[in-house]
Structures are given as structure tokens and as C-alpha cells.
Amino acid sequence: SPLMSHSCFGGGPRRTPALSCSRGGPGRKMSTQRINKKEAKGNRNDDGKVGSKQLTLAEATPGKSMADANAESEMLAELKKLENTMEELKQRTEGLDKRLTEVENRVSAKEDSHIQHEKVLSYLLHREASLASKCDDMENRLRRNNIRLYGIPEGSEKDDMVKFVCHFFKTALEIREEIDINVERAHRALGPKPRSTTAPPRSIIVRFLDFQVKQAVLQQAWKQRQVEFQGHKVYFDQDYSSDLQKKRKKVREVIKKLKEKNIRAQSPYPAQLRIFTQSGARLFPSLLEAKSTLKELGINMEMEDRDVLEMELARDGWKTHYNDRRQNRLQLSTADIRALISGGHKDPESVGHE
């Protein structure tokens, strides 16, 4: 009707639409339904594709998580090994630090002990040289009443050496009659008797009861210079110890070289050297002190290192006392003596009381 038509296509107010109010009628309705079905079908196909894609990702996701888990496990295992290694290295480093500290303490203790031992050794060396020099001096003092005779053939004394030497002194030396030559004992020097007749005879040691008589006999022999027995020249000398004889022998060799240069020299007791020059007399306690002066005089004296060391240690050792400065230098402290006795370990109670 015109009213419905106006209502459907007119510009008036729109009312509740009716199915019949469409152009074409029922055909138009069927066409719309087909379109809607196609769209629904297309949507279902799209949903199926999306679902298949999601399923594929879901199927792939578990495989990817397993690889990550394995990699993570391996990484954790490696980290655990690294952690264990670091812990082991830490423990070893701590152990090495502890051992290094112990070694440093032991080395420090050994160094302290070494210093003390050096001081003790130096003291003992000087002390030994001093005691040896004093013993040698005492031995030579005990021989003060003795003289030695060199050049008398073996067997000349027969069975009585004392009677022989007394007769020899009275006949060979110009001794005053008032001097009583009282010989305590006499004998050949200790040692094997020479088997060859061409070998030099052993010396004869004569001991007098009186030192003054011994000096008178010796001075007279030196004064006469030429003393003979059965055509053999006899030499008189002091009776020195073997060590002192060696020292005096070296001094005599130097004196011989000085005499070749027309330089007068002497050897006072025990083994000193006195040189007389134009500037005056100079006395040297040993050849070591005279070395530079002898070099200036054109005499090169060769000395072994051991002899030099012995002279340095025994320098002034024959004297009965040291000066205060040298004596203090050769003294050991109480701590050094205690360390030597205890083997280098200090007594805790002594710390702070040294």
C-alpha cells in the first residue's frame, strides 16, 4: 500500500523492519543467506588454518624447550666444575700461603741463627788462634833454658850425652872458669836416626839448670862465630817450638835477601823483623806487616793464603794480653752464647733481658 511503501522507502520515521520490506522479495533474502553461509564457511576455513598453525608451533615448542634444557644442564654442569675448580684452587692457594708463611718464618729464623753462628765462628777462630799462640808462647818459655847444637855427627856422644856436651863446652868455648856449666839433661832431637852418613845429623838439645849459664854459653858461641868439633862446624841457637821455628825460618829468608841489598836486619823474639834503614830502625811484629815496606825495598815476598790468614788471626796473639778495644771486639754477648748452647733457639724468658 502507499503507506507501507512510504514507510519503507520514504523519508519519514523508520519503524520496525519487516522481512517483506526488501527489494526483490524472497529472492533477495536467499541471496543474503548464501553470502552469510560462504562467509561463515570461509571463517571456519581460516580458523582451521590458524589452528593448524598454532598446533605446529605447539608441536615445535616442546622440542625447543628440551634443547634449551639440555644446554642449560650442560652449562650448569660446567659451572659446577668451574666452581669446584675455583674452590680447589682457593684451598691450594690458602695452603701455599700458609706454607710460604712458614717457610718465611723458618728462613728468617735461619738467617738470625746464621748471623749468630758467624759471630760465634769468628769469635772461636780468634779465640783458637789466641789460645794456640799462648800455648806456643808457654812452650817456648819452658824451653828458655835450652839450646840446640847443629852439626855434631851422630854417635859422637857415645853413651853419655850430658858428659859429652859439658866437655865440649869447656874445650870448644872460651868460658870463664868461675861459670859452673851445670847441665840438667841433653839428648838428640826426636826423630828417626839418619841411615845415610851423608845425611845431616840430628840436632842436640841441651837443658841447663840456670838460665844465666845458658845465656853465657850461647853468647860466647855467637861471639866466637867459628866453633868446630872434629872438623865439623857447629851452630848454636835457641830451642824454639816447631811452629816458631817455621816462622823464624821465613824471617831468616827475608833477612838473607835484605843482606844481599846491603840492608841490615834482625829477627827479635818471637818472629819479628827489624830493618835498619837510613831513616832509622823499624820493627815489624810479623812479615805480614812488613810486606809493603819490603816491596818498597825491592823484595817481593810471596805468602800463601793460609799463612796470611793465620798471621791475621794470630796478630799480636803471642802477647799476654789484648788492648781493651780488641778484647771487646772479640767478646760474645750472653744472647750469642745462649743461642749457641741451645742450638739457635732463644729462651723466651731471655727476650727483653739482653
- To the question of pTM greater than 0.75 for the whole model, the response is no
pLDDT, tens digit (0-9, with 9 covering 90-100), for 235-289: 999 999 999 999 999 999 999 999 999 999 999 998 999 999 888 899 998 888 8
Least confident of 28-32, 154-158, 276-280, 320-324: 320-324
| Rounded-to-integer distance, Cα 343 and Cα 329, Å | 23
Q: What is the pLDDT confidence band of residue 322, given thresholds at 50, 70 and 90?
A: very low
Pairing assessment for the beta strands 235-238 and 228-229 based on DSSP bridges: unpaired
Beta bridge partners of 185: 207
**% of the chain beyond a pLDDT of 70:** 73
Measured from the Cβ of residue 331, the count of other Cβ atoms closer than 10 Å reads 9
pLDDT value at residue 68: 84
Domains and CATH numbers, the chain: 144-239 (3.30.70.1820)
Using DSSP, state whether 284 is helix, strand or coil: strand
Least confident of 24-33, 277-286, 328-337: 24-33
pLDDT value at residue 222: 92
Helix (H) / strand (E) element for 183: namely strand 183-188
| Rounded-to-integer distance, Cα 325 and Cα 311, Å | 19
pLDDT value at residue 39: 59
